[in-house]
Amino acid sequence: MARREITFMKATLEALSEEMAKNPAIFVLGEGVGKRGGNFGTTTGLYDLYGPERLCDTPICERGFIGLCAGAAMTGTRPVVDFMFSDFILDAVGEIANQIAKIQYMSNGRLKMPVLLRGSIGIGHSSATHHSGSYYSMYAHFPGLRVAVPSTPYDAKGLLKRALNCDDPVLFLEHKSLLAAKGPVPEEEYQIEFGKASVKREGGEVTVVAIALMVQHALKAADRLASEGVSVEILDPRTVSPLDTEAILKSVRKTGRLLIVDESFAPCGIGAEIAARIAADGFDDLDAPIRRLNGLHAPTPYSPPLEAAVIPNPETIAAEIRRLLEE
Amino acid sequence: MARREITFMKATLEALSEEMAKNPAIFVLGEGVGKRGGNFGTTTGLYDLYGPERLCDTPICERGFIGLCAGAAMTGTRPVVDFMFSDFILDAVGEIANQIAKIQYMSNGRLKMPVLLRGSIGIGHSSATHHSGSYYSMYAHFPGLRVAVPSTPYDAKGLLKRALNCDDPVLFLEHKSLLAAKGPVPEEEYQIEFGKASVKREGGEVTVVAIALMVQHALKAADRLASEGVSVEILDPRTVSPLDTEAILKSVRKTGRLLIVDESFAPCGIGAEIAARIAADGFDDLDAPIRRLNGLHAPTPYSPPLEAAVIPNPETIAAEIRRLLEE
Amino acid sequence: MLGKDDLLRFYRMMQTIRRCEERLAKAHQQGLIPGACHTYVGQEAVAAGVCAHLRKDDVIFSTHRGHGHALAKGVSPRELIAELFGRATGCSRGRGGSMHLFAPEVGLMGTTGIVGPNILQAAGAGYSFKLLRSDRVSAAFFGDGAVQNGAFHEGLNMASIWKLPVLFVCENNQYATEVPFRYASGSPSVAARGQAYGLPGVEVDGNDVLAVHAAAGEAVERARKGGGATLLECKTYRTRPHAEGMADFGYRSREEVEAWKARDPILRLQRQLLEKGLAGEAELRAIDQEVEAMVDDAARFAEASPWPDPATAADHVYSESC
Amino acid sequence: MLGKDDLLRFYRMMQTIRRCEERLAKAHQQGLIPGACHTYVGQEAVAAGVCAHLRKDDVIFSTHRGHGHALAKGVSPRELIAELFGRATGCSRGRGGSMHLFAPEVGLMGTTGIVGPNILQAAGAGYSFKLLRSDRVSAAFFGDGAVQNGAFHEGLNMASIWKLPVLFVCENNQYATEVPFRYASGSPSVAARGQAYGLPGVEVDGNDVLAVHAAAGEAVERARKGGGATLLECKTYRTRPHAEGMADFGYRSREEVEAWKARDPILRLQRQLLEKGLAGEAELRAIDQEVEAMVDDAARFAEASPWPDPATAADHVYSESC
Ligand SMILES: Cc1ncc(C[n+]2csc(CCOP(=O)(O)OP(=O)(O)O)c2C)c(N)n1
Ligand SMILES: Cc1ncc(C[n+]2csc(CCOP(=O)(O)OP(=O)(O)O)c2C)c(N)n1
Ligand SMILES: [Mg+2]
Ligand SMILES: [Mg+2]
């Protein structure tokens, strides 16, 4: 049978739809998740299947409806917030970090907190500074949250299904430049565990850990370098919390060189965390300094030439790999 | 003349009072900053000097009054938010990261954003999980903010004065276990530049970079180790954004060993950032893996034995240094 | 109609709260409480009057000033006092203290040290109950200070448009720490703000347990029957400082406090019981003694209880399911 | 009293906004606008009527739907269109696009892509003006969707208790993207919510520039004289989709849109001018042509303008003073 290829968005829609069919306690909240089917088509068709209470349009009160989810999750339902752009839920960081993330702990494990927060991240399409944020590093900093940042339709479906079967709060972050990308997704049921990296390309000379869209960019860079005779291994952690340190250590043991590519801000970012872990536990395996390639530490500008200047691309990634190989 | 010693709190009160006397555009907002003089005595006596408009008690609407400050700072005044506990302003992360931090950039430098956000951080005194947060790593992640985390009265006064003479938004974070600590503070006017670390103790065998209260704990650990013949150098970055990489590199060049001690969460924390920078640019100077010692990645519990278990102390720091020296 | 038993139940509950608080205040002075302690003295009628209508499977969400709500919802004095003492036997197993009380077994779904979130969480429980076609109801208790917070606005609006089975109980004790409500609020009435959300807003004397009970009864019934949420403003007063150990007369006068002490909700109910001949002095004293004995026992229990094991300090950050 | 000149000024401003928006809509189809484009078509009377009272040193804070406010406050069509085209000559130098317009020189202190913050920022400017003893005023423009957000609640309450010189102008165009106001709001009236904050709340026909102008005039005068803030609800309608390129009839009917087009604010003013004999067809057509020429020029200017230099992409993250 031919491998089925579907888009990232379709893969997540399948995951959500399948789980909603199984579990009547799942409901979705967000602006336009009802009849409209979601700003990114994330709930297309579900309103007709499950009705307005399970596909609930909200007023523009992100803090409010995320705070509401905490109470819902404690009392027998499983809320999904479809927040459109990760920038919008900065108003809810108090509810996320101080309530949702902490209540399992504070109740000594007597309350569960199965809240799924899902929506788009990433720079692209001249979305400008209020529609380009990522913030996964911030969420990985807080204890009590799971943070998934898939880069393929397959991973997206498997991780979303996992999230909907897990009692922890999960941030599920979808890069907007990946939503229309297609990839193989089997018809059969599967889930992907959190904290398991995926080797997106095997190679022997340098390890590149990349996040979300940067995985695709790194793959392009590796293709180019292959033609120059350079063998690049590419790892996608898939979840930044938990983070699969073992897989990265294993790869660095082989290559001796590590570059982390992350389009978002460098300071206290996930690239720093990866570098710190390897500088601690993989120190003896390193043949060269650990390098990070990040987007500029600046708000995201609108104009295409400015926007392009603030994020890594296949060329800058390839250049950085070449430099690292010379160290 | 004898060196004058005053408390951390008194030092910041002097800084604020002196600057308010000079600059009538400075006003302070917060719950209880008026007649009450601040929850931590941060505005004691100022209400009588400057009246209710400049020492303005607020309703409990952190997002609101921090958002208000953005508009005030654009229009000729210099707001100071006295937020008591850093946990309270998580509701305002949208205003801080998406507005206050970005407006200088988005206006292409035509608007200034001199907002000072000051208040307490840190674990201690059974304050429990909603009054123990730090979050400086999160603020250091966002572009556009300055983040000061002083550990002595001298540094606190100098950095607060700098903050009140700077057009950037500044987070000024005061560890609650340091507020009553005394230290030398000259009567004369001085300011401390952002991004300049301070060597709190010179030593040759290992570099310890510590933040806020951990500087004091590290000093105690170093005292203990000195009696064992171990020579520890202690650096306090004083501001985590900007971060003085040069000073840390310089010290590591001498010692070859680096431990970062930070009471807050490890993942994507400032310790990770420091480790990443040194693993990149100080790689050849390192004689051992870079180690981090952080508080546990957990919400902060109330009960004293639990609370003590989640943060580093002089003993655990000393033990970690000993381990690092053996690597 | 309320009978003698009901009134005596109110009396016993209010005395239980009062005596626990007084014991906690003393314990705080003695250094037995390592963190903060916000007492509910003067406001007992609200918790007692509202919670009398709640079933065990109904839920409440409270604040930093939550001891009274916890007790009224069914947390034992032992579990409450042990929690403030930081012991493993406390309702939050020592993780919480005064501001973080959890007892989901009896429907106390948490108290919060941050002003606001509990309002939203109560709305969320209401959403669950609606979706699950349950007749359970949910209540949020919060102060006048929370009314100026965005959480109030967003929570009440959502509860209104989705007709959620929720009671929003504002205990207007006229101060948020030291900031007066009349200064902080653009409107002198909390109840009147119900209108802005299309919700019934009811003002009641929060020092009169019978009045609170009556108003809460209507609201709970409406909620159970699918009639949606209610905003209840209980005008009351705390007669102790904001938190134990804090100064109290920089922002309010001794006279004001004394005037409110004269309106003490427990004394008032006592007078009513005696005047109506529903109970004699002796009967009330007997209850008082039972309560006193229970609180004594609880304090002894708490002090004798073990500390939590430091090795468990990072347990339950995540569930075991994922 | 308003004279002919005033009315013609309104007419010219509203036409300028309309023609710029139509040009931008077309440019969006042509791929000249790399990002989003939210037009103001149908709501022009609000910006024109309110901003007519504002001095250059007064300030406004707007939203994702801010083109009209920018123009009415004095941003030139050239700077507006160039910004949406992403050029270095745009009012935000290409950093912002449709949702992030900055022109502090003329009192446009920014438009925000996040719903809510501008309400707070307007209050903040009011705080500055009060502290500085200035008679400047500040205005926030926002949609009906923002009314359900905590920023509305917190901002209006602070403006009320501190008597800040602020106009809160809600443009109730009945939809937040595709979510109807009547669904999202617990209360059918925005203006009536003023009461919850102790603020005057005034409802006005937002498609009648004269009505908007009259109501805004009172509010601005009250603010300048120290009388505090006003909440103005302008009932209006956007006749184009939420953003260019979006579908428009999944949530509202063609009939509804057509009915509102019949109430077009520009046509209405035109009729009034003609009926009162204040202007002839020819005079209006002459203005139209001038406006058209100006917009043509602006679009040409924008298209011919240079792109920003990528080397400047990280400039101005911090000021130079620290
Ligand atoms: C978001 C937030 N801001 C500030 C505080 C500090 N704080 C604790 S209690 C309190 C006053 C609360 O007043 P109110 O809601 O009236 O309750 P009361 O104490 O009177 O019962 C404040 C400001 C907090 N806990 N959370
Ligand atoms: C906090 C936040 N949530 C969601 C959005 C997405 N969004 C952009 S415009 C809009 C609708 C706004 O409606 P309204 O305030 O009525 O303004 P209008 O578009 O009608 O002018 C929404 C939901 C956003 N920009 N910010
Ligand atoms: Mg109160
Ligand atoms: Mg609208």
Q: Considering only alpha carbons, which residue of chain D is nearest residue C116?
A: D150
Where residue B17 falls among pLDDT bands split at 50, 70, 90? Answer: very high
Residues in chain D: 322
How far is the centre of ligand 4, averaged over its atoms, from the C-alpha of C95 (Å)? 45
Where residue C320 falls among pLDDT bands split at 50, 70, 90? Answer: confident
| Residue D101 structure tokens | 């317009």
How far is the centre of ligand 4, averaged over its atoms, from the C-alpha of D146 (Å)? 8
How far is the centre of ligand 3, averaged over its atoms, from the C-alpha of C181 (Å)? 7
What integer pLDDT is reported at residue A205 of this predicted model?
98
Residue D280's identity, in one-letter code, is: G
What integer pLDDT is reported at residue C321 of this predicted model?
78
- Determine contact, residues A274/A209, Cβ cutoff 8 Å: yes
CATH architecture designation of domain A5-184: 3-Layer(aba) Sandwich (3.40)
**For a pocket test of ligand 1, which of C115, C120, C141 has the largest count of ligand atoms closer than 8 A to its C-beta?**
C115
Nearest by CB to A130, which of D99, D184, D308?
D99
Residue ranges of the alpha helices (H) in D264-316? 265-275, 281-304
Considering the four listed CATH numbers 3.90.180.10, 3.40.50.920, 3.40.50.970, 3.30.505.10, the one that applies to the domain covering B198-325 is 3.40.50.920
A98 touches chain B (CB under 8 A): yes
Segment (H or E) for A213 = helix A213-226
| Residue D150 structure tokens | 């905590």
Helices (H) and strands (E) in chain C, counts: 11, 8
Please say if A131 is a catalytic residue: yes
What integer pLDDT is reported at residue C322 of this predicted model?
76
- Determine contact, residues D23/D302, Cβ cutoff 8 Å: no
Residue ranges of the alpha helices (H) in chain C? 4-29, 44-51, 67-73, 77-84, 117-131, 150-161, 181-184, 209-224, 254-261, 265-275, 281-304
Is the per-residue pLDDT at D300 higher than 90? yes
A75 touches chain C (CB under 8 A): yes
Residue D214's identity, in one-letter code, is: A
Cα angle C227, C229, C230; round to 5: 115
| Residue A295 structure tokens | 């987007």
Q: Which of C79, C113, C132 has its CA nearest to residue C298? A: C79
- Determine contact, residues C107/C59, Cβ cutoff 8 Å: yes
> For D258-271, what is the mean pLDDT?
98
Neighbours of D1 (CB within 10 A): 3
| Ligand 1 contact, C113 CB (< 6 A) | yes
Q: How many angstroms separate the Cα of C50 from the Cα of each of B153, C202, C230?
A: 49, 13, 12
- How is domain D4-67+112-304 classified at the CATH fold level? Rossmann fold (3.40.50)
C-beta contacts of D301-304 below 8 A and 24+ residues apart? D301/D78, D301/D81, D301/D82, D301/D89, D302/D78, D302/D81, D302/D82, D302/D84, D302/D85, D302/D87, D302/D89, D302/D90, D303/D32, D303/D85
Residues with CB under 6 A from ligand 2: A 31, 60, 62, 84, 88; D 64-65, 113-116, 142-146, 173, 175-177, 242
CB neighbour list of residue A117: distance below 8 Å, 6 or more residues apart: A66, A69, A81, A83, A89, A96, A169, A170, A171, A172
How far is the centre of ligand 2, averaged over its atoms, from the C-alpha of A242 (Å)? 33
Residues in chain A: 327
| Residue A36 structure tokens | 């409209």
Is the per-residue pLDDT at B126 higher than 70? yes
CA C289 to chain centre: 23
The one catalytic residue among A130, A131, A175, A297? A131
- Determine contact, residues A288/A256, Cβ cutoff 8 Å: yes
Within chain A, all domains assigned CATH 3.40.50.920 are found at: 198-325
| Distance from C-alpha of C44 to C-alpha of C60, rounded to nearest angstrom | 16
Within chain B, all domains assigned CATH 3.40.50.970 are found at: 5-184
What integer pLDDT is reported at residue B229 of this predicted model?
97
Contacts of A120 in chain D (CB under 8 A): none
Residue D116 Cα: closest atom of ligand 2? 1
Q: What is the interface pTM, i.e. ipTM, of the complex?
A: 0.98
Q: List, for residues C231-271, the tens digit of each pLDDT value.
A: 999 999 999 999 999 999 999 999 999 999 999 999 999 99
* Chain A with chain D: Cβ pairs closer than 8 A: 127
What integer pLDDT is reported at residue A2 of this predicted model?
63
Q: Considering only alpha carbons, which residue of chain A is nearest residue D249?
A: A36
The domain limits of chain C are 4-67+112-304
* pLDDT by position in tens, chain A (length 327): 568 999 999 999 999 999 999 999 999 999 999 999 999 999 999 999 999 999 999 999 999 999 999 999 999 999 999 999 999 999 999 999 999 999 999 999 999 999 999 999 999 999 999 999 999 999 999 999 999 999 999 999 999 999 999 999 999 999 999 999 999 999 999 999 999 999 999 999 999 999 999 999 999 999 999 999 999 999 999 999 999 999 999 999 999 999 999 999 999 999 999 999 999 999 999 999 999 999 999 999 999 999 999 999 999 999 999 999 999
Q: Is the dihedral of CA D307, D311, D317, D319 positive or negative?
A: negative
Q: Do C157 and A168 touch (CB under 8 A)?
A: no
Q: List, for residues D155-214, the tens digit of each pLDDT value.
A: 999 999 999 999 999 999 999 999 999 999 999 999 999 999 999 999 999 999 999 999
Q: List, for residues B29-65, the tens digit of each pLDDT value.
A: 999 999 999 999 999 999 999 999 999 999 999 999 9
Burial of D259 (0-12, 13-18, 19+ CB in 10 A): exposed
Is the per-residue pLDDT at C207 higher than 60? yes
The residue assigned the tokens 């499983």 is A78
Contacts of A59 in chain D (CB under 8 A): 145, 148-149, 176, 179, 184-185
What integer pLDDT is reported at residue B85 of this predicted model?
98
- With an 8 Å Cβ cutoff, the interface of chain C facing chain D consists of 148-154, 156-157, 160-161, 183-188, 192-193, 195-199
What integer pLDDT is reported at residue D322 of this predicted model?
76
| Residue B238 structure tokens | 């004083």
- Determine contact, residues D234/D219, Cβ cutoff 8 Å: no
- Output the average pLDDT for chain B: 98
Where residue B124 falls among pLDDT bands split at 50, 70, 90? Answer: very high
Nearest by CB to D310, which of A60, A131, A305?
A305
Is the per-residue pLDDT at B269 higher than 90? yes
Q: Which of A293, A286, A288, A323 has its CA nearest to residue A311? A: A293
| Residue A234 structure tokens | 């590419």
- In the three-class reduction of DSSP (H, G, I as helix; E, B as strand; rest coil), residue D255 is classed as helix
Q: Do C183 and D192 touch (CB under 8 A)?
A: no
Burial of D280 (0-12, 13-18, 19+ CB in 10 A): exposed
What integer pLDDT is reported at residue B34 of this predicted model?
97
Residue ranges of the alpha helices (H) in chain B? 8-22, 46-54, 62-73, 93, 103-106, 136-141, 153-163, 213-227, 245-255, 270-281, 304-310, 314-326
